[in-house]
Amino acid sequence: MGSNDPRQRPAATGRPTVVRRASALPLVPLLAALALPASPPVGAAYDDSSLRAICFNAERASEMGEPLVLLAHKTVCDFASYGPRTFDEHWVWFVADPRSTAADELRRFAVPLEVRYEQLFFDRCRIFRGADTLSVDPHGFLLQPIDGWPEPGAFFFREVRAALPELRAGDIVEFAYRVSNRWSDRRAPSAWDAFPIRHPLAPTLERQIIVAHNPVLKGRIRVIGDDRPPVRHMGVSPPRFELHTGDLPAGQADATGPGAARMLFTASTNWWDVQRMLGFNYGPALLGATQLFTSAGDSLSVRHRGSRERLAAVLAHVDREWTPLPQSLTAASYYPSDAGELNAQRVAGPLDRAMLVAGLARAAHMQASLFLARTAAEPFLPDFAVPHQFDRLAVQVDLLEEGVKVLIDPLRGRLEDAVGAAEEYTHFLGCVPPWEGLYERDASGALVPLALE
């Protein structure tokens, strides 16, 4: 086996290594979202010694009876002080049944990107096959549209998709890459995130998450949805946390959704800090949506005199004019798009649709407020200020002639459905004044401030 193979034993057979050398990848014209090569920081990727030990677990993985096993998955995230960040990912997979659906998904391995703000750098991709090592040509990793996403809005959301050769039983597949954020001056960068612990495709033998942050930040970590050992504090220069666990079953499809096992990081010491960061982005976005709809709002207010009828027309208008993007709230990173972009694209994710509904309601001379909301899928942690605890959106609209405030799910096209869905929400985070901070429902269904101990 060639000396570049980290699995090499002292008594190697000496069979020649199969290597596909990669030439320089040309610049991807779509905002240079894909780049090569990159050099992850020390400790980001598994070194050869660690990778050799990981590969020795292939025999154990083959005895599990699973078509695909994630031998090891390492995530290293480095947060700057409310600024750019990097995510380094290293995956090592064992393929038991190459004809399985899971193995087919692996062969089309994809990394989603919001190309306006994210850039991907490849470190390496290899397939260990017996005594051979196949280095996969990065020309096979292309920036492509995400299946099922409508154009033109999906122009800004792409995925870097692998084109691996046909896999064989016993193959060990390795991916190592980095994703970097590029913040614009129109966004207030945050210092929060959620890191999935389990993978939906396969069980995991070893999972490692390392989070480093600027000493200026008062970072905190919480593990939810899984009974894992406590996170270790690894050092203070820079401050680092680590979760190192293993023998995990496969997780749910939405790896960062409600009830999923994940590790949360926040540098916000209280919810007011979270709301301040959200308000910096949500306030201008909501104002832009209101201004965008000035003419349409005036027309709706004239044609629909009753506020309930008018609200139903608002939902119908947004549902008719904007195609929904199949995207979760957490995937959207809690950042709204510019109203002008939304008007041109005619597609919108969950957060942007909520902005459009609230903006059109305001333009139609109704009082509307926006909230992050959550269901009761898991215990709420009021002492841990991170918006990733909220997986839904709610718009509250005053029905003045009825003397009531109604909460709706802005993703539902019909008013009855929108009201019914919002009745399941339990906790709320006000995003724009005058609603700021945390709220919960009282017995009458009204929102009241959440009392924190």
Phi-psi region of 383 (alpha: psi -120 to 50; beta: other; left: phi over 0): alpha
Identify the pLDDT of residue 40: 46
Task: List the structure tokens of 204.
Answer: 């995991």
User: Could you tell me the sign of the dihedral formed by the alpha carbons of 445, 448, 452, 453, in that order?
Assistant: negative
Centre a 10 Å sphere on the Cβ of residue 137 and count the other Cβ atoms it contains. 14
Question: Phi, psi (5° rounding) for residue 205?
Answer: -85, -35
Candidate from 209-223, 281-295, 325-339, 419-433 with smallest mean pLDDT: 325-339
Q: Is the pLDDT of residue 36 over 80?
A: no
Candidate from 5-19, 33-47, 235-249, 344-358 with smallest mean pLDDT: 5-19
β-strands 427-430, 437-441: how paired? Answer: antiparallel
pLDDT (tens digit per residue) in 381-392: 899 999 888 988
β-strands 347-348, 323-324: how paired? Answer: parallel
pLDDT (tens digit per residue) in 83-103: 667 889 999 999 999 999 999
Centre a 10 Å sphere on the Cβ of residue 27 and count the other Cβ atoms it contains. 10
Q: Which helix (H) or strand (E) holds 417?
A: helix 415-422
Q: Which helix (H) or strand (E) holds 320?
A: helix 307-321
> Domains, the chain, ranges and CATH?
34-267 (2.60.40.3140), 272-449 (3.10.620.30)
What span, in angstroms and rounded, lies between the C-alpha atoms of 359 and 288? 8
What span, in angstroms and rounded, lies between the C-alpha atoms of 149 and 133? 36
The rounded mean pLDDT for the chain is 82
Specify whether the CB–CB gap between 176 and 125 falls below 8 A: yes
Candidate from 34-43, 272-281, 355-364 with smallest mean pLDDT: 34-43
The single-letter DSSP state of residue 412 is -
Mean pLDDT on 415-441: 89
Centre a 10 Å sphere on the Cβ of residue 434 and count the other Cβ atoms it contains. 6
Identify any residues that bridge with 212 across adjacent strands, giving them in sequence order.
78, 240
Identify the pLDDT of residue 82: 56
Question: Phi, psi (5° rounding) for residue 279?
Answer: -60, -35
